[in-house]
Amino acid sequence: MAHTSLHVHDHTGLTTCNDEHCHIHPGVTTPPVPYGDNHYHEIIGQTTYQDGHYHSYRANTTLAAYLPNGYHTHYASFETSFADGHVHSIMGYVMPVKPEIE
């Protein structure tokens, strides 16, 4: 099942700690982007303001990883924009969801 019904995933988490600080990356993904019989999501946003700056980010998740009971998740691994002389990495799974069947 492609799970292309309208849904989003929470991706809130903590960046890697670089230059003696970390940022939170709050938000939800875009709605699903169909890809064959599967789908992915975009993650777009800005980190929290910390140590006098913030970072922007834009990336795609992997295709859906199916879980028991109709849930699925996606993995993402990417770097933020360059600011204040450094970048941060963001990696991990988005919150699993069980989309409603249309």
What per-residue confidence (pLDDT) applies to 101? 66
Residue 100 lies in a domain: no
Q: Which residue has the higher pLDDT, 1 or 66?
A: 66
- The domain tally of the chain equals 1
Identify the domain containing residue 67 by its residue range.
13-93
User: 80 in a domain, yes or no?
Assistant: yes
Asked whether residue 58 is assigned to any structural domain, the reply reads yes
pLDDT tens-digit map of 8-47: 999 999 999 999 999 999 999 999 999 999 999 999 999 9
What count of other Cβ atoms lies within 10 Å of the Cβ of residue 13?
17
pLDDT at 99: 86
Q: Closest Cα partner for 12 from 46, 54, 60?
A: 46
